[in-house]
Amino acid sequence: MKVVDAIAEIMKREGVEFLSTYPTTPLIDAVAATGIRPVLCRQERVGVGIADGFSRTTNGRRLGVFAMQYGPGAENAFAGVATAYSDSVPILVLPLGHQRDRAQVFPLFSSARTYASVTKWVETLNQPEQVSEVMRRAFNLLKMGRPGPVMVEIPADVAVADVGDQVALQYKVVKATRPSGNPRDIAAAARVLVDAHKPVIHAGQGVMYAEASPELLELAELLQIPVMTTLEGKSAFPEDHPLALGTGGGGVMSGPSHHFLSQADVVFGIGCSFTRHGMATNIPAGKTIIHATNDERDLNKNYAADYPILGDAKLVLRQFVDAATDLLGARPRRDGGAAGEVRQARETWLKEWMPKLTSNEVPITPYRVIWDFMQTINPRDAIVTHDSGSPRNQLVPFYAATAPRGYMGWGKSHALGTGLGLIMGAKLAAPDKFCVNFMGDAAFGMTGLDFETAVRCGIPITTIVLNNSAMAIERHALVVSHDRYRTRDIGGNYADMGRAMGGQAERVEKPADIVPALERARKANEGGQAVLLEFVTSEEIAFSHRRAL
């Protein structure tokens, strides 16, 4: 047995289902021999995205893995790993390394040195006989604590070195464990939450990784507290619920989130990092903050936590439910007025936006595409993601995600084109879902050729390209250069490209044709075909509550 064979056997024991990879590494044939399917992408960043989307969709219970060659392969994957790191996504990354006798020679690229800043842990497997303990450390870190990418660099000579069969056969699968909150901290914070006049729950993706949406719903209903989610946490709370405020993130907010967060006296952050960032919602000054997270580095990072709690979101929420129930006792519950106020805020906000959401203008406003998608596709049957820039800002506030992981929000490290890999990974994880990514024409220019990967590998996704033939969101930054040299103009017929890559594709230019195109795409996906829908849209850059708080 060679080292790569041992790694393949360990991966199989840990339940790995496929290996996203490009272009070559001896690990590919090794995993194929064990029955793990290799999925070859067209470029490394998208391949990392496929592993990323798979892990997000499964809450890390089934892990995405990406492997690449040394040198250019490892170099090209960096942006994808950085995205996974910034969004706390557990993926295993297995780069081939240069053989040990030359690994430190200039200018050879070292993954172990270079990736330390964008991984939870990175280690080089220098001794073949240590393969089991190195892989055990990797899976331990992937399964416990704050999620994030873990990397094991495998030098080329180590990869094909012989090891005894018992090295892999003696490997024991890692069991995960999770901490609850300190009971005294929970009791003090629960009392503040029960006594608050206008509390808001600020839920992050830690709720989904802990599979704590039922507990979040139970607490919100028990105390009648409205819930907003972060960009990464979107879908942790059903957005069709009377207490749902929607999402704040990406620099935009839903109307109800803006209304309630500005007035809140207590903000309970659960499973979130409270990071001050352009893709996050800033918390206004003067709020009492309860912050529960599984990573001590997040506590008191950008906001002073009045009531810090360290623990797993599911266990902590159960503790809050129990503590709040005891505190309430025979006391009257809140009268439910919050739900009525949420409804009024939502109606006022949507009334303001309905002219854009239902507009018949040509070129089509992207908001009409989003609205028609929402009226046509049941969100419980779908997994949706966005891309960077305008598509994210337009989609996030309005799309109502109703089931956990029915939406993949991302953005603290926001490379254009990320959504295409993510949605392929989601489809591999949930083949029964209608998996759709919204991207702009600039994003397509970055990764669009990997639509061929979906076609070739039988991953029937739908890619929606909002083509406004411009870098519209960059208007503020490209003024003189555009006036003189038209620097914001870009172009292309992306439906033609989709057909050339073997997929089903349509170019839609009239609002009345949006719904029929979506219905045909869904039917084609059900039949196993990947679909590209190109909508010719206007340069719409009006956003909901842009930087409002």
Among residues 88, 93, 1, which one has the least CA distance to residue 47? 93
Q: pLDDT (tens digit, 9 = 90+) per residue, 87-120?
A: 999 999 999 999 999 888 889 999 999 999 999 9
| DSSP letter assigned to residue 463 | E
Domain range 3-169, CATH class: alpha beta
Q: At the fourth CATH level, which superfamily is domain 358-536? A: Thiamin diphosphate (ThDP)-binding fold, Pyr/PP domains (3.40.50.970)
Q: What percent of the chain has pLDDT over 90?
A: 89
Residues 494 and 533: beta-carbon distance below 8 Å:
no
pLDDT in tens, 243-290: 999 998 868 999 999 999 999 999 999 999 999 988 888 899 999 999
**What is the pairing mode between strands 91-97 and 462-467?**
unpaired
Measured at the CA of 473, the angle between CA 472 and CA 475, to 5 degrees, comes to 70
Tell which residue, 543, 376, 542, has the closest CA to residue 464.
376
pLDDT tens, residue by residue, 353-369: 999 999 999 999 999 99
Across the range 290-297, mean pLDDT stands at 97
Predicted confidence at residue 333, as pLDDT, reads 65
**Residue 42 CA: distances (Å) to CA of 76, 201, 400:** 11, 41, 32
* Residue of 444, 451, 446, 450 whose CA lies nearest to 529: 451
Q: What is the pLDDT of residue 332?
A: 62
pLDDT at 206 over 80: yes
Q: What pLDDT, in 10s, does the model give residues 457-472?
A: 999 999 999 999 888 8
Query: Which pLDDT score, from 0 to 100, does residue 413 have?
Result: 78
**Burial class (CB within 10 angstroms; exposed 0-12, middle 13-18, buried 19+) of 378:** exposed
pLDDT band at 330 (very low <50, low <70, confident <90, very high): low
> Which of the following CATH numbers is that of domain 183-340: 3.40.50.1220, 3.40.630.30, 3.10.690.10, 3.40.50.1100?
3.40.50.1220
Q: How far apart are CA 246 and CA 268, in angstroms?
A: 16
Task: With cut-offs at 50, 70 and 90, classify the pLDDT of residue 334.
Answer: low
Amino acid 546: pLDDT: 66
In three-state secondary structure terms, 168 is helix
Residue 436: pLDDT band (50, 70, 90) is very high
Domains 3-169 and 358-536 alike in fold = yes
SS3 483: helix
Give the tens place of pLDDT for each residue, 141-155: 999 999 999 999 999
Please determine, for residue 548, whether its predicted confidence score (pLDDT) is greater than 70: no
pLDDT of residue 77: 97
Least confident of 22-26, 324-328, 485-489: 485-489
Q: What is the mean pLDDT of the chain?
A: 95
| Domain limits, the chain | 3-169, 183-340, 358-536
Q: Which helix (H) or strand (E) holds 4?
A: helix 3-13
